[in-house]
Structure 1
Amino acid sequence: MISDKLLTPDYIFESSWEVCNKVGGIYTVLSTRAKTLQEAFPDRLFFIGPDVWSGKENPLFTEDDELLKAWRTEAETKDNLKIRVGRWNIPGNPITILVDFTPFYAVKNDIYTQAWLDFQVDSLHAYGDYDEASMFSYAAGKVVESYYRHNLTVADKVIYHANEWMTGLGALYIQKHVPQIATVFTTHATSIGRSIAGNNKPLYDYLFAYNGDQMARELNMESKHSIEKQTAHHVDCFTTVSDITDNECKELLEKQADVVLVNGFEDDFVPKGRSYSAKRQKARKALLNVANKLLGTRLGDDTMLVGTSGRYEFKNKGINVYLEALNRLTRDKNLKRDVLAFVSVPGWVGEPRKDLAERLKSKEDFDTPLECPFITHWLHNMSHDQVLDMLKYLNMSNAKDMRVKVIFMPCYLDGNDGIVNLAYYDLMPGFDLTVYPSYYEPWGYTPLESMAFKVPTITTDLAGFGLWVNTLKGHYATLQDGVKVIHRTDYNYSEVADAIRDTLTEYSALSPKEIEKVRKNAAAVAEQALWKYFIKNYYVAYDVALRNAAKRLEENKF
């Protein structure tokens, strides 16, 4: 329910590189939130994404030639835009416009020059994905301008919501060319903060001393930082996803968020009742089967299955400290159960292991391990992979007599990886516990999703989600709460590893009744993070943007 005191938009346009394009956590934010917004603004919510699937079938997008037909014709003939209109195949099925941004490369330098003249956006040092993102962003802005000119009037209250630095140029374009539209910009993680953390520099203790512009020069991040900073300063409402990232914005972008938009989610993909039990059983069987065929073991159902997943950011996501904790666990005499730990992060994957695939077809038991008994798929860079390197450095062996074994699944768990052949959400119920000891994590969907599947988790207070849980509970959350939140700093790596080890040992000693209680508590915390509770923050952001846009129009007498 939207408060009567808030200004409410008539139309919302939202752009992101991850609309109908599943590459990261922002996809989860947008795709789970869409249903709630579509119900509040039926077919007055439009998502704009890049047409990177041009010429190929996109399973996430259903084109509809009749939808917005009159405008589409105008946009293509009069505005020279190459677009496809249809619906995003997610709950809510919102109207979606995919734009081919490649024609704008021809005028790229003119676009960058104008962005400098208008907003001091420095694109001189662009490299990598900056050009691609910027041309999409500009094209998305042109799409919204076209729709507004052909279909809407100054009487309509319109929001343009841009996500991440990759859509900043479009927000600034709208601000200049269609000033009647109120702009919202969300940074899901500052580009320079992620870079500082990823380059092994201490982010938190020295945050107050860092100058974002200076660090951008030092780390060769000038253009991305520039578009992000200028967009944050110029839009009608600047937002971010957690208090910890808000602090980062204040220091590195020199702009505090107007509203913090905490990330919620929908639990409609979580199986219930008998369906859940069946999926849990199937997932455990699949994980244990892969392990036993790879390792030549006979691990039973009483094995404690532990997992981590997400992006392959070795330090930022805490994969290093997770492996360190597992190594220390091998020497813990209080461990009551065998532990089989998985690292499910997509690496530079080559192909499924043929030797493992052959064994998986067989019904027989094997008592000899395969060569390199740590990995399910061959990598292109076997000799320079951070997970394999650390396992080697820690002298982990996966020998039969070791109580802790580690398996690296470096593939996208899409159900067709050639080894496990189960999708990520189908595997999730099979775990007993998950570990996400992030060093840099603006929010943290992975621990939240884990808990929604009744799988207790371990995270840190450097993750936005971990901080939120502590606030919710009024204390540092413990395993009994369904989530253990570990205090993490720039320098307490070893203490974090010990805390993970101790929590895994503690879980191994729980009785079935105690485990059931912990699992229920995990699901109860996840329930508190549904979009129906968090969407109100968006309505506040829309209100702020609409009021500031009206003020801006009045001051400039457009």
Structure 2
Amino acid sequence: MIDLLFETSWEVCNKVGGIYAVLSTKAKTLRKRYDHVIFIGPDLWSKDNESPFFIESNTPLDDWEKQAVFPAGMTVRVGYWDVPGKPVAILVDYNSLYVYKNDLYAEMWKKYHVDSLHAYGDYDESCMFAYGAALVIESIVLWQRGKVRNVVAHFDEWTTGMGLLYVKARLQSVATVFTTHATSIGRSICGNGKPLYDYMSGYNGDQMAAELNMQSKHSLEKAAAQQADAFTTVSNVTARECEQLLERRPLVTPNAFEQNYVPKGSKFSKAREDARARLLQVARALTGEDYSSDTLIVGTSGRCEFRNKGLDVTIDALNMTRDKLNRINNLSRKIVVFIMVPAWTESPRKDLQASMRENRVARLFDPVITHNIHNFDTDPIYSKINFLGLHNVIDDSVKVIYVPSYLNGNDGIFNMSYYQLLIGFDLTIFPSYYEPWGYTPLESIAFGVPTITTDLAGFGQWVLDTEGDNLARTGVKVVHRTDSNYSETVAAVSQGLSNVYTMMPAELRKAKNAAKKTSKLASWDNFIQYYELAYSQALKKVEIRMVDDADGL
């Protein structure tokens, strides 16, 4: 029985990446199981730029908030996270804590050998936030002393590791849980073009950290992983990576999805119609072509990690499919592909806005991109599209449209959120090379959209282990990918796209229904049991620790 559960992440009320989706969809299930759940995130906001996900309000922590004392200048705001379940959220303004940085780093070096000397980039900022979050946990635990017994403090990613170590050092009665969603050194190995999987057993995490100038982040993450009462990661794929590079085998706590985000019944049909209409409207205004209602609409999305996310594979597969279909005469049905990956966006294209507003059918200059970007010459997606000549000419059966903007409902072109558009697709493609879990393909099937992924993604491996590789039966095609089979991966993705293109309408409907069914197996109601096991193991460690401490008196 947990009396009080804290969860700390840089992405609480701060939509940056996949961890936001994990925590925001998990919140409702946690609230159903535990009476007192508190999420802690960074206060990065101002009155002129407030978080759209945070509701400052009176909460059960009002009395604590009035009494809490923090180092000079540190402030907190208390309210609710505006997601299903509406959990209590505390935002920490940590900017005043930098004056304590050197003392904190020295203490963590002495206690846990965390090497902060080589810090750069976002290391200091992450550590100051994590320290502030730990001070909040310490303050609430002391305020509740005698009223709560079983307290769990859960920290996500290396960015919160300093907070876990502080709690571990100061609050022996609090059970600590650390989740790495991707190891910092594993991601760096992949980001530097080195083969991760073929040579996994030969890698030493400390050695690679020194080679890649990752000593501080790696040493912090490794210390948090080894000191936590329970250490978890999101898939068996990443568990192997953790064991090799962080030198501790984690529990696997796979990510799930909250089905409440998906419209039901007639609302689903209406949302799908609206999404398809907007997607084809943009394609029409940009390329100057009309598209039939049976156009196969395909999408990919995520961060612009060109190799890790398989964006290189996706674009090469689209080119291969285009060349193959262009050789077939009289193909009236088109494939329109949207690459929805935020980049260094400058502004929505005014000519595209005008074309949509005036309902014109005229091919625009550069009909492959929806927004202006600052770095046309160096953007990897735009450059790859142009290198392959994917210029959306009139005879091309495959049209490729690059959407380099966050789809937050206010991008100036679609003015619909990602989820509002996702429901309109017929297929998504995520052929990742480095993907500890793979939230985008899971989101996709939850909205009834079949997907192509790889067995290097944790989600893809989970599908293989539980359902097998059969898109018609599961809504998921899992492509085999290694360090050395790039061409085969491209061909397999292209073939998967071609197979969906040639499906009869009834077959595609069957695949879409199968996708929904598979997604329900990956619901939080099913997957929360893995977190409960981690919490139980962490609390057991505390129980043993407290008994040992009492015996030592």
Q: Name the TM-score, length of structure 1 as normaliser.
A: 0.95
The CA distance in 2 between the partners of 1:364 and 1:350, in whole Å, is 24
Are the structure 2 counterparts of residues 33 and 68 from structure 1 closer, same or farther at C-alpha, using a change threshold of 3 Å?
same
Matched, 1:338 2:334: yes
Deviations along 1:209-243, whole A, 9 cap, x unmatched?
11111111111111110100011111111111100
Q: Residue 61 of structure 1 aligns with which residue?
A: 54
Q: Which amino acid aligns with 1:443?
A: W
Are the structure 2 counterparts of residues 134 and 224 from structure 1 closer, same or farther at C-alpha, using a change threshold of 3 Å?
same
Q: 2:253 aligns with which of 227, 238, 261?
A: 261
Verify the 8 A CA contact 2:225 2:248 in the aligned structure 1.
yes
Q: Residue 409 of structure 2 aligns with which residue?
A: 415
3-state SS of the aligned residue for 1:400? Answer: coil
The CA distance in 2 between the partners of 1:66 and 1:405, in whole Å, is 51
Verify the 8 A CA contact 2:175 2:538 in the aligned structure 1.
yes
Q: Which amino acid aligns with 1:486?
A: V
Q: Residue 309 of structure 2 aligns with which residue?
A: 317
Matched, 1:393 2:387: yes
Q: Which amino acid aligns with 1:459?
A: T
Q: Name the TM-score, length of structure 2 as normaliser.
A: 0.96
Q: Residue 379 of structure 1 aligns with which residue?
A: 373
Deviations along 1:432-452, whole A, 9 cap, x unmatched?
110000000011111111111
Q: Residue 162 of structure 1 aligns with which residue?
A: 155
Q: Residue 25 of structure 1 aligns with which residue?
A: 18
1:395: how far off? 2.0
1:481: how far off? 2.4
Q: 1:288 aligns with which of 265, 271, 280?
A: 280
Verify the 8 A CA contact 2:472 2:510 in the aligned structure 1.
no
Matched, 1:520 2:513: yes
Verify the 8 A CA contact 1:486 1:496 in the aligned structure 2.
yes
Q: Residue 530 of structure 1 aligns with which residue?
A: 523
Q: Which amino acid aligns with 1:434?
A: T
1:66: how far off? 5.6
Verify the 8 A CA contact 1:306 1:340 in the aligned structure 2.
yes
3-state SS of the aligned residue for 1:84? Answer: strand
The CA distance in 1 between the partners of 2:421 and 2:405, in whole Å, is 13
Deviations along 1:146-203, whole A, 9 cap, x unmatched?
1111112386111010000011111110111111101000000000111111111100
Verify the 8 A CA contact 1:172 1:231 in the aligned structure 2.
yes
Deviations along 1:461-491, whole A, 9 cap, x unmatched?
0000000011111x33334421100000011
Unaligned runs of 5+ in 1: 1-7
Q: How many residues end up aligned between the 2 structures? A: 546
Matched, 1:354 2:346: no
Q: CA RMSD in A?
A: 1.6
Matched, 1:129 2:113: no
1:512: how far off? 1.1
Verify the 8 A CA contact 1:192 1:212 in the aligned structure 2.
yes
Verify the 8 A CA contact 2:76 2:93 in the aligned structure 1.
yes
Q: Which amino acid aligns with 2:190?
A: A
The 5-angstrom pairing of residues 230-241 of structure 1 reads 230-241=223-234
The CA distance in 2 between the partners of 1:111 and 1:160, in whole Å, is 20
The CA distance in 2 between the partners of 1:141 and 1:294, in whole Å, is 50
Verify the 8 A CA contact 1:193 1:203 in the aligned structure 2.
yes
Matched, 1:452 2:446: yes
Q: Which amino acid aligns with 1:307?
A: G
Q: Residue 205 of structure 1 aligns with which residue?
A: 198
Q: Residue 492 of structure 2 aligns with which residue?
A: 499
Q: Which amino acid aligns with 1:456?
A: P
The CA distance in 1 between the partners of 2:217 and 2:55, in whole Å, is 32
Verify the 8 A CA contact 2:448 2:512 in the aligned structure 1.
yes
3-state SS of the aligned residue for 2:124? Answer: helix
Identity of aligned residues (%): 49
Verify the 8 A CA contact 2:256 2:523 in the aligned structure 1.
yes
Q: Which amino acid aligns with 2:407?
A: L
Are the structure 2 counterparts of residues 416 and 78 from structure 1 closer, same or farther at C-alpha, using a change threshold of 3 Å?
closer
Deviations along 1:528-554, whole A, 9 cap, x unmatched?
111000111111111100111222233
Q: 2:271 aligns with which of 242, 265, 279?
A: 279
Deviations along 1:225-279, whole A, 9 cap, x unmatched?
010001111111111110000000001111110x211111111111122211111
The CA distance in 2 between the partners of 1:330 and 1:148, in whole Å, is 60
Matched, 1:430 2:385: no
The CA distance in 2 between the partners of 1:65 and 1:241, in whole Å, is 34
Q: Which amino acid aligns with 2:215?
A: E
Are the structure 2 counterparts of residues 103 and 78 from structure 1 closer, same or farther at C-alpha, using a change threshold of 3 Å?
closer
Q: Residue 117 of structure 1 aligns with which residue?
A: 110
1:295: how far off? 1.0
Q: Which amino acid aligns with 1:339?
A: I
Q: Residue 140 of structure 2 aligns with which residue?
A: 147
Q: 2:319 aligns with which of 298, 323, 327?
A: 327
Q: 1:11 aligns with which of 4, 10, 14?
A: 4
Unaligned runs of 5+ in 2: none
3-state SS of the aligned residue for 1:298? Answer: coil
Matched, 1:406 2:407: no
Q: Which amino acid aligns with 2:237?
A: I
Q: Which amino acid aligns with 1:344?
A: M
Matched, 1:305 2:305: no
The CA distance in 1 between the partners of 2:70 and 2:158, in whole Å, is 30
3-state SS of the aligned residue for 1:522? Answer: helix
Q: Residue 3 of structure 1 aligns with which residue?
A: none
Are the structure 2 counterparts of residues 343 and 11 from structure 1 closer, same or farther at C-alpha, using a change threshold of 3 Å?
same
Q: Residue 464 of structure 1 aligns with which residue?
A: 458
Q: Which amino acid aligns with 2:461?
A: L
1:93: how far off? 1.0
The CA distance in 2 between the partners of 1:472 and 1:62, in whole Å, is 39
Q: Which amino acid aligns with 1:382?
A: F
Q: 1:94 aligns with which of 82, 87, 97?
A: 87
Q: 1:439 aligns with which of 416, 419, 433?
A: 433
3-state SS of the aligned residue for 2:258? Answer: coil
The CA distance in 2 between the partners of 1:255 and 1:78, in whole Å, is 35
Q: 1:364 aligns with which of 351, 360, 367?
A: 360
Matched, 1:478 2:462: no
The CA distance in 1 between the partners of 2:309 and 2:56, in whole Å, is 36
